[in-house]
Amino acid sequence: MPPDTAVDAADAAWQPLPPRAQRLFALTDALVLAPMGAVGGWFLADVGEVLLPPQLALAGLVLGLIAGLLSGRHRFRHTRWRLDADGFAVARGRWWRRETLVPATRVQHLDLRHGPLERHWGLATLVIHTAGTRDNAVSLGGLEQAEAERLRESLARQPGDDDGAV
């Protein structure tokens, strides 16, 4: 049973996003996929000539909206972050999991962004700009405003720079 305990302890270090970020993710995905579904439905109607284009466009809009809501929910549930001695890490995905680690020594500067929906729900996006050319910025949206500010301050104070400041 010790291997399971080790896995549980490792998973415990990963922090989930706050619950209200699920609404942000679902709405943003729906705003992207719903118009795409409507346009796709319109073009299908033009090719098939079975139904009128507005009917298939409306069906595509509804399907795109539902797909966006489900996609956002899935994206929310499978996004985690952690801050430890190694640096800041973000894990995304379930089947194709992508983990990005930003070592403290690679942090160049930090930004907080607040889109209109994020401001409405008291959320923020932390953007970590790094040294190097590949993935030179790592961002994590949907963080609580206070948590994003705390993470920014913690990363700015981490040792690793010549003068001790980032």
Check residue 17 and report its DSSP letter: P
Least confident piece of the model among 18-22, 54-58, 73-77, 123-127: 54-58
Rounded distance between C-alpha atoms, residue 134 and residue 83, angstroms: 21
Residue 75 has pLDDT above 60, yes or no: yes
Spell 87-99 as b/e; 16+ CB within 10 A means b: bbbbbeeeeeeee
What is the rounded radius of gyration, in angstroms, for the C-alpha atoms of the chain? 20
Main-chain dihedrals φ then ψ at residue 125, nearest 5 degrees: -115, 125
**Size of the chain, expressed as the number of residues it contains:** 166
Residue 138 has pLDDT above 60, yes or no: yes
Residue 159 has pLDDT above 50, yes or no: yes
Residue 11 has pLDDT above 90, yes or no: no
Residue 44 has pLDDT above 80, yes or no: no
